[in-house]
Amino acid sequence: MSAHEDVVHSTVTGVDNRKLSMWVLIASECFLFGSLIVNYLINRDRGLAGPTARQIYDIDITTLSTFDLLMSSVAMVLALHACQNRELQKFRFWTGMVVLGGVIFLGFQFYEFSHFVHLGLGLTTNVFGSSFYLLTGCHGAHVFLGVLWMSSILATSFVRGENWFPSLPLEVAGLYWHFVDVVWIIIFTVVYLFVYI
Amino acid sequence: MKSLQLFRIAELSQLLKNKSLPLSWGLLFALQASAQEKAFDEAEYRLSPLFGGPMNTIAGMTEWARDINHVYGVTTIVAVLVFLAVSIPLIITLYKFRVKEEDLTNLRPPKQIHGNALLEITWTIIPFILLLFIAVPTWQVIFKQPDEPPPGAMVVKVIGHQWWWEFQYPELGITTANELHLPAETPVFFVISSADVIHSFWIPQFGGKVDALPGTNVDNHLYYVTPALRNSDAVGGEVYQGQCVELCGLSHALMRFEAIVHKQDEFDRWAKTFNTAPVVASEPEKRGEMLFAQCQVCHTISGTASEDLEKQMLSMSPPVAKQGPNLTDFGNRRTLGAGTRKNTEENFIRWVKDPQSIKPGATMTPFDTLSDDELRSIAAYLRFSTAKKF
Amino acid sequence: MVKSEKSKHATVKLYWIFAGILCVITLVEWLIFRNEELRSNATFMVPALSILSLMKFSMVCGWYMHLRYDNKILMKVFGFSAFMAAVTFGILLLAI
Amino acid sequence: MAKNLPRTGIISWLTTVDHKRIGIMYAVTALIFLLFGGTEAMLMRTQLIIPNNNFLSAGTFNGLVTLHGTTMIFLFVMPLSAAFFNYLTPLMIGAADVAFPRLNALSYWIFLFGGLLLNFSFVTGLLPDGGWFNYANLTGKQYSPSHAIDFWLLGVQVVGLASLIAAVNFFVTILNMRCKGMTLLKMPIFVWTTLVTQVLLILSLPVITVALFMMTFDRTFGTGFFDPGAGGQVIMWQHLFWIFGHPEVYILILPAMGMVSEILPTFSRKPLFGYSVMVYSSCAIGFLGFAVWAHHMFTTGLGPWAQALFSAATMLIAVPTGVKIFNWISTLWGGQLRFTTAMLFAVSFIAMFTMGGLSGIMHSSPPIDYQHQDSYFVVAHFHYVLYGGAVMALFGGIFYWFPKVTGYYLSETLGKIQFWLYMFGFNMTFFPMHFMGLEGMPRRIFTYASDQGWNFWNVLSSLGAYTTAIGGIVFFVNIFWSLKSGKKASHDCWDGRTLEWTLSSPPPEYNFAIDPEVRSLDDWWHQKYDGEGNKRTARVQPDVDPSTKHVPNPSFWPMVLAFGILVLASAPFFDAQGIPLALAGVVIMLVATYGWSFEEA
């Protein structure tokens, strides 16, 4: 985070460069997750060995983790709101909640992965498993990066003290966080809820 | 490593002389190291015609190829017309409006024209119309290929291997390699697949290529009526050439095959005699038959123990297919090594001793421990005993 | 040309309302999935759950990511790419 | 720390974040890789000059085929275009720099390391030999057990990352950093084609990223995405590759079109004919480019309906392309044409690109494609588009902007010698390939028999290739000669139309002393000439004391971060022992990110 972080530069479109570039990155990620999801759909029923999707998915757990990620998104908007209103305690609290939500989600994912491995579905067991792990693993990596990002903001807040309100960096991080959430919304429906179709 | 040598200057200069090209260009690059063998054997270097070689796409011997050529012809006409419509105005413009650099300082800039809506709309619409001329025949031809074998069509299974072709005739119970025998004027439905990597099955004079994909339920199809014989008395059939056209590894360039079109009765005789056991007559052939026992893990000759072994392997669970081409009619084949060498004793022995020197990366084990006598015996067995008259 | 974007953002109350709706939708999705007849019925599941999913999608994008309030160019950037991705991968699913 | 870094000398180049210097580094690197790719082409043409040649072994030839294609596309044409994006975009839109100068440096270093990683295969002797399209499952572990293919996979992955970062940067730069008065439809056309190219990169690169990851997983961790034996499908790779690969073609050609659209107006002293239609047609080409990928797969058994639809979409691309060609001719019509070397290259682009486009239309028809696919006809087609088209235009661009970049003109005499050697040699190389294709010569074969009817055409083709090689040598001689004793160039050395010509040659580090403001398209031209064409006094940008202008601080971190990525990407070569290497790469990246974050920009 540079010294100029909260100066909104005058730009032609009126959108700060950092914010616009995050949206452009999100545009790119649409194609990234698009190809991963399609690859999963194509390979879902092509596994020649090992368990199938219907045998191992646990919808209750996944619904909980979906709920958790949605709530972390709520925390995110509240953190941003507090930051913009220069409410230090709320800003720190909700940023912490975002981190917590992300960590819980990763915990769910760790549990899910180890459970699946226990049930006999490894990365290389069959193409269904490979596609599943590639898609959800890639999403999980995004969540992990988001957690790192949000915790660095939280840490910086404690270092920089009570007059540091990084509205714009937080908003950019928030866009990233919400997009990761949006991807999960689609994954939840297409991967988990459509498993019997 | 052999020393540097001037590569076939004679050949090159002959080529250049005939075509009266400047020789000096070629000489600059005439140095090369000669470490390996030639890939194809050539009795003599000859100048083949500029057009109409064995792989040409223009001749169009089947209805299917002629359909394709029709689209190609229409498109070529359109393309040439468009090219003229671009290049003539371009050349006129370049000539008409050229200005010398030194005159430029005295000239006022020309009128600054920013566009002309009518003109631009015109040359947006005209391409649409031209494209229709290409699109309509295109779509007509695309839908001509059937999905299922039409009634009365002979089914041939084509299987690509690194780097040879397997042909199966399920209705005739025949499996052969690198020589595709077909009756003239007969509808044929090819079912094309691959045993390892992607290959592409192509006999240019019969029409377009189709990829051979590995995997289950990915067979591709190709259907056409084989051509009539150009010479109705042709004995032994008329030969067309094919080749793999998808990069399939080290020896992709050496994966050719021949399609041989026979008179119907000749084809019937070929099919009937195909699976009969080899006739082992001379002493070397007998020795060769014994020695073939070490070949049968990979190769099959119908009517011998190797066929039983193949059946045994295929009935295992999971079934095991033999790795090498079927050699049942090897004696009748014109070439070996998937169309790379003539089927001569010398070439045969070279192949068995060191296949990789002819075909880099070939999976066959080199039998370099066999004595010359043993090699000649195997050659005799494979080249004469399996040469069945039909 | 710098616009003040703070004033146009949704209120905290709205954020909580949307949070509630998001949870409810997720709950509905879960309930639908619990029904063993419904969940393998493609003609019901695909349209119904796609709509639910799209609702969640547009709520997060539109309000939490401020697309509805923000500069229109962002909507164009995201809309175009999402549309292109949907079309491209739709064609791919049909073609393969 | 960053502030104290030197502004001259070798360190200044390693740490620079100036878009102009980065542009120069891109160009130099791309031209060095051109030498690689060109040499590979010459070796292949030498192997094929006579039938049954054994100048190269089969393995070497397949490796050269692969590396020639990959090098020319990813390491020559794309980065050379990126050099122009870097150098010109900020100058043309009147900006001080790009939106994210350090990210820009990062792109360059990642690209450089990716290119080196790919070409490191020469050092190890393991040339990737799966073709530039790297079709599965030939490139799977089973059929390509050595690490050769990994050089390709990881090299392209790293280079792709560089392009993606650069694309985001330029997209934001163009949208956000335009000078006062420069609305979208007053931007120079080159900036427009740059913008469309960035959109294509942003949307298509993630797809190849995923495909490359899948194959890397297949090869490194033993998954079976592309292994039919494990339930995977080989065709999936082709789809993913070409969803990226076809937009990639437009990524290569659109910048070239933009350059030609800048060069032609200058040397005919007329504005670009139908500017707005040119803009829309560029967008249309980019848009349609996403819906045509399967025309590379007409022989894979897509079924008639898919073939019909993809062929129709492909044919549609001919419409905006045709409009462009006629608009270029109309730009010339009625002008005062000066045949400088840049102009010659630009004009030849129109002719050569038309030929390539027309043979492209032929292949939009699946039946024709059944015969031409993977034959030399296709080789002829795409070389007419990418060499006769893109590369000729890029050379035109080099001759046009070289004086701006260096302050010296390239020699016109040597330039014209090069141009005619290129035109003659190029057509001699690639026109016969149409006939080879019609005569059924497959692509990517390392040898052929003498009785196929291909001999004469191959001799012609190889001799043509040597001719172009001489042209290439003339070009490099020209560069060195001109830098030493070339004619000095003034601000507006070609009587240009866009903002970069208001700057001194070479421009100062801060670009514009006075923030420019434009009122119209070709604003600089209208400042110089009134509506009647009478010359009036126009003021070029003054030189000011550099210390009064803010320029971004140099930084080491982009190079360090890129190096971390290189270390991470090298891990798969060491199999299980690669894990510490991967961790080391991640640590370097984290340290660099940390340092980057707290450094004053």
Q: Please write the tens of the pLDDT for every residue from D232-291.
A: 999 999 999 999 999 999 999 999 999 999 999 999 999 999 999 999 999 999 999 999
Q: What is the pLDDT of residues D344-375, one digit of tens each?
A: 999 999 999 999 999 999 999 999 999 999 99
- Per the CB < 8 Å rule, is D311 touching B142? yes
The mean pLDDT of A17-32, rounded to a whole number, is 96
Q: Which chains touch A (3 or more CB pairs under 8 A)?
A: C, D
In this prediction, residue D361 carries a pLDDT of 93
**Which residues in chain D have Cβ-Cβ distances shorter than 8 Å to A124?**
221-224
Which chains border C (3 or more CB–CB pairs < 8 Å)? A, D
Helix (H, G, I), strand (E, B) or coil at D178: coil
Per-residue pLDDT of chain B (390 residues; tens, 9 = 90+): 233 333 344 444 444 444 434 443 444 444 443 444 677 776 444 555 678 888 999 988 999 999 999 999 999 999 999 999 999 999 999 999 999 888 888 888 898 888 899 999 999 999 999 999 999 999 999 999 999 999 999 999 999 999 999 999 999 999 999 999 999 999 999 999 999 999 999 999 999 999 999 998 899 999 999 999 998 888 889 999 999 999 999 999 999 999 999 999 999 999 999 999 999 988 999 999 999 999 999 999 999 999 999 999 999 988 899 999 999 999 999 999 898 999 999 999 999 999 998 999 999 999 989 999 999 999 999 999 888 888
Q: Which residues of D touch A153 (CB under 8 A)?
A: none
CB-based contact, A159 to chain D, within 8 Å? no
**Residue whose structure tokens are 């019997």:** A196
Nearest CB to D299 within list B139, B211, B252: B211
Residue C4 has pLDDT above 70, yes or no: no
CA atoms of D310 and D197, how far apart (whole Å): 22
Best probe of the D interface among C3, C80, C84, by most D CBs < 10 A, is C84
The minimal CB distance from A14 to the residues C3, C45, C84 is found for C3
Indicate whether A168 pLDDT > 90: yes
Is A27 close to D600, i.e. CB distance below 8 A? no
Q: How far apart are CA D392 and CA D67, in angstroms?
A: 21
Would you kindly state where each structural domain of chain A is located, as residue ranges?
Answer: 56-193
Residues D174, D194: contact at Cβ < 8 Å?
A: yes
Q: Which residue of D has its CA nearest to B30?
A: D46
> Which subunits count as partners of chain D given 3+ CB pairs below 8 Å?
A, B, C
Tokens 């209103």 correspond to A85
Show residues of chain C in contact with D291, CB under 8 Å.
87-88, 91
Report angle CA B370, B374, B380 to the nearest 5 degrees: 135
> What gap in Å lies between CA A79 and CA A149, rounded to an integer?
14
CA D412: distance to chain centroid? 25
pLDDT reading at D580 higher than 60 = yes
Q: What angle do CA D456, D457, D462 make, to 5 degrees?
A: 100
Can you give the pLDDT at residue B46? Answer: 53
Number of helices (H), then strands (E), in chain D: 19, 0
Interface of A with C in 163-182 (CB under 8 A): 174-175, 178-179, 181-182
Q: In sequence order, what E strands does B80-201 have? A: 154-161, 164-169, 174-177, 179-183, 187-194, 199-201
D231, A47: Cβ pair inside 8 Å? Answer: yes
What was the ipTM of the complex prediction? 0.92
Interface contact A25, partner D, CB < 8 A: yes
Domain assignment present for residue D7? The answer is no
String of DSSP letters for A141-184: HHHHHHHHHHHHHHHHHHHH-TT---HHHHHHHHHHHHHHHHHH
Considering the domain architecture, whether residues D546 and D601 belong to the same structural domain is answered as: no
**Residue B20: count of CB within 10 angstroms of its CB:** 7
Whether D472 and D548 map to the same domain: the answer is: yes
Q: Which residue of A has its CA nearest to C51?
A: A189
- Backbone angle region of D444, left / alpha / beta, with phi > 0 → left and psi within -120 to 50 → alpha: left
What is the structure's pLDDT at B13?
Answer: 46
Distances (CA, A) of B70 to B137, C26, D374: 8, 59, 20
Give the whole-angstrom CA distance, residue C7 versus residue D32: 54
Please check whether residues D228 and D115 belong to one and the same domain: yes
Nearest 5°: phi and psi at B5?
-145, 155
Q: What three-state secondary structure class fits B53? A: coil
Q: Are D353 and B186 in contact (CB under 8 A)?
A: no
Report the domain count for chain D: 2
Distance, in Å, from the CA atom of C47 to the CA atom of C53, rounded to the nearest integer, reads: 10
Please list every residue in chain B whose beta carbon sits closer than 8 Å to the beta carbon of residue D333: 89, 93, 97
Distance (Å, whole) CA D207 – CA D201: 10
The H or E element that residue D470 is part of is: helix D455-485
Is residue A145 less than 8 Å (CB to CB) from chain D?
A: no
Q: For residue B167, give every residue at least 6 positions away whose Cβ sits within 8 Å of its Cβ, in sequence order, or none.
A: B156, B157, B158, B159, B175, B176, B177, B179, B180
Question: Helix D189-221 to helix A17-43 angle, to the nearest 10 degrees?
Answer: 40
Q: Are D201 and D290 in contact (CB under 8 A)?
A: no
Please tell me the distance from the alpha carbon of residue D251 to that of residue D323, in angstroms, as a whole number.
Answer: 19
Question: Of the candidates D224, D253, D219, D226, which has an alpha carbon nearest to the alpha carbon of residue D240?
Answer: D226
Q: Is residue D4 part of a domain?
A: no
Q: Rounded to a whole number, what is the largest CA-CA distance in chain A?
A: 59
CA A188 to chain CA mean position, Å: 13
Judgement on whether residues D450 and D576 belong to the same structural domain of the protein? no
Q: How far apart are CA D71 and CA D35, in angstroms?
A: 10
Residue D11 lies in a domain: no
Q: Tell me the mean pLDDT in the region A28-51.
A: 94
Residue of A nearest to C1 (CA): A14
B377 contacts chain D (CB < 8 A):
no
Per CB-CB distance under 8 Å, the chain D contacts of B35 are 54, 57
Contact D123, D117 (CB under 8 A): no
pLDDT at A105: 97
Please state whether the peptide bond connecting residue D86 to the residue before it is cis, i.e. omega within 30 degrees of 0.
Answer: no
Instruction: Give the tens place of pLDDT for each residue, D80-121.
Output: 999 999 999 999 999 999 999 999 999 999 999 999 999 999
Distance, CA of B335 to CA of B150 (rounded, Å): 33
Q: Which residue has the higher pLDDT, B242 or C9?
A: B242
Q: Which residues of chain A have a CB within 8 Å of the CB of D217?
A: 123, 130, 134
Name the CATH code of domain A56-193 (choices 3.90.1300.10, 1.20.120.80, 3.20.20.70, 3.40.190.10).
Answer: 1.20.120.80
Backbone angles phi, psi at D449, to 5 degrees: -80, 160
Q: How far is D487 from chain A (nearest CA, A)?
A: 39
Q: For an interface test with B, which of D261, D353, D364, D371 has the most B Cβ atoms less than 10 Å from its Cβ?
A: D371
How far is the C-alpha of D152 from the C-alpha of D132, rounded, in Å?
9
Question: Of C23, C49, C61, which is closest to A193 when you measure between CB atoms?
Answer: C49
Residues D157 and D53 in one domain: yes
Superfamily of chain region B283-385: Cupredoxins -  blue copper proteins (2.60.40.420)
CA–CA dist B377, D453 (Å, integer): 37
Which residue, among A22, A24, A132, would best test binding to D if mutated, counting the most D CBs under 10 Å from its CB? A24
If asked whether residues D234 and D160 sit together in one domain, one would say: yes
Q: Residue C92 and residue D175: Cβ atoms within 8 Å?
A: no
> Residue type for B339, please?
G
In chain B, residues with a C-beta closer than 8 Å to the C-beta of D379 are none
- Chain A residues touching C39 at Cβ < 8 A: 193, 195-196
Report pLDDT for D442. Answer: 96
Chains A and C, touching by 3 or more CB pairs within 8 angstroms: yes
Strand spans (E) along chain B: 4-6, 31-33, 154-161, 164-169, 174-177, 179-183, 187-194, 199-201, 210-212, 220-225, 238-243, 256-262, 335-336, 341-342
**Cα–Cα distance, B68 to C56 (Å, whole number):** 51
β-bridge pairing B154-161 and B187-194: parallel
**What is the pLDDT averaged over residues D12-32?**
95
D226: pLDDT strictly greater than 90: yes
d(CA C10, CA A89): 21
Interface test with D, best of B19, B93, B254 (most D CBs within 10 A): B93
Q: Which residues contact B292 (CB under 8 A, 6 or more apart)?
A: B299, B301, B304, B306, B378, B381, B382
Which are the contacts of A26, defined by CB distance < 8 A and separation ≥ 6?
Answer: A175, A176, A179, C78, C81
Which residues on C lie below 8 Å from D237 (Cβ)?
Answer: none
CA distance linking residue D399 with residue B338, whole number of Å: 51
Shortest distance between the Cα of B389 and any Cα of chain D, in A, equals: 29
What integer pLDDT is reported at residue B53 of this predicted model? 85
D509 and chain B: CB distance < 8 Å anywhere? no
CATH number of the B55-98+112-274 domain: 2.60.40.420
The C-alpha R_g of chain B, in whole angstroms, comes to 28
Task: Answer whether D299 sits within 8 Å of B82, measured CB to CB.
Answer: no
CB D87 within 8 A of CB D169: no
Q: What are the structure tokens assigned to A125, written together?
A: 């067991």
Paired tokens of D213? 């990851």
Contact by Cβ (8 Å): D566, D117: yes
Considering CB atoms only, which of D169, D221, D231 is closest to A126? D231
pLDDT exceeding 90 applies to what percent of chain A?
A: 87
pLDDT higher than 50, residue A79:
yes
Distances D10 to D1, D6, D15, D563, D566 between C-alpha atoms, Å: 17, 9, 9, 18, 22
Q: Does C1 touch chain D (CB under 8 A)?
A: no
Same domain, D76 and D217: yes
Chain B residues inside the 8 Å CB shell of D234: 198, 213-215, 218
Residues D531 and D585 in one domain: no
D587 in a domain, yes or no? yes
Return the residue in B4, B24, B142, B359 with the most chain D beta carbons within 10 A, the one to mutate for interface testing.
Answer: B142
Residue D8, domain member (yes or no): no
Cross-chain residue pair B218–D301, CB shorter than 8 Å: yes
Residue B167, classed as helix, strand or coil, is strand
Nearest CB to C65 within list A31, A59, A178: A178
Using CB atoms, which residue from D209, D211, D225 is nearest to A130?
D225
Residues of chain D in contact with residue A126, where contact means CB-CB under 8 angstroms, are 224, 230-231
| Residue B138 to residue B279: CA distance in whole angstroms | 52
Any D CB within 8 A of C86 CB: no
Q: Is the previous residue joined to B163 through a cis bond, with omega within 30 degrees of 0?
A: yes
Structural domain of residue D600, as residue ranges?
560-601
Which of D552, D569, D588 terminates a domain? The answer is: D552
Listed in order, the ranges of chain B carrying CATH 2.60.40.420 are 55-98+112-274, 283-385
At B336, give phi and psi (nearest 5°).
-130, 165
Q: Based on the number of CB atoms within 10 Å of its own CB, is D134 exposed (0-12), middle (13-18) or buried (19 or more)?
A: buried
In a domain? residue D329: yes
Mean of the per-residue pLDDT values for chain A? 92
